[in-house]
Structure 1
Amino acid sequence: MRRVIYFVLAFIVWVLIAWPFADGRIDLQIVVAGLIVSFLVAVLFHDILPREHHVFISPVRVFWFLVYVPVFFYHVIWANLDVVYRAVHPAMPIRPGIVKIKTRLKTDSAITALANSITLTPGTLTVDLTDDGDLYVHWINVRTDDVEKATQLISQRFEWFLHRIFE
């Protein structure tokens, strides 16, 4: 069942990236290549893909994912504007540093999604993950050294959604 789910997901990603529907017709070569590559990915790499495959077939989780995507893009755009402001400001108001973030997420998929969400947001970069699930994040403008406050400022905006999607 995992292989089937990963095959379908890989094919959907292939179609979205390759977009074989140019000029109002379907490019059959791109579709066939996508089916072959998706099949190979599902067969060869299913062991390294997340074991929590149930998250991909739950309508409630899919709903929360669809809600999360625009929220994530909102935060990415806002962070981009903040980084641009700091870069063009004559005084360049930055205070870079590494802060510790505590997460209440438990599954590997959820923690990975959180780390990637933080990294994809301009001004922050996940640099380490401890065995107990703590993240170390490089922050362009450290506002606090307090773990709880840094967690609230950096990760809680994503964590609430990711908990509903992955756990």
Structure 2
Amino acid sequence: MAWENDLFAFLEDLEQQADALYDAERAPELADRSRAEYQQVTLASRLAASAGLEVGLEVSGVGTLAGVLERVAEQWCLVRAADQDWVVTLAAIRSVSGASPRSVPEAAWSPLARLGRSSVLRRLAEAGERCVLHDTAGGRVDGVPRRVGADFVEVEVGEAGRTVLVAFATLAAVQSRD
């Protein structure tokens, strides 16, 4: 019957109009919710999604570092730049270029990403690796990390074996020397 087809077409049109109005009313709410959720995204989670990519980092006291982002943890990241490894404190990063538009929530990170800077510095101390510790003011300490305290690292400097303590609060990056 023709009148039934007309009625169903009319009702379908009304339903589509209602769906369009509903979507139009929800669009601002969804945009607000999206912005509110994005404020939960951390620099570390954006960097975690960028692992394996070539990035540029502006680091306080160091300047520009360009290289492949190898690993990311809560407090630090590892960048391989020109045959040198850099352990960079996230708090010292001023800007990042070349990062992925995505993020990886911290709940999805490996347990190794939970290791702090002190774990990395202890590994360098155990290996007796020579490195340069850069602070956020541009200072440098060239030597071998020997022991790691709660908030500092003890570095043996020079031939005489003089000891310098470097505070974590000012540590921007650690550069491999070997």
TM-score after normalising by structure 2: 0.25
Structure with higher RCO (Cα < 8 A, 6+ apart): 1
Structure whose alpha-carbon radius of gyration is higher: 2
- Give the strand-richer structure, 1 or 2: 2
Give the helix-richer structure, 1 or 2.
1
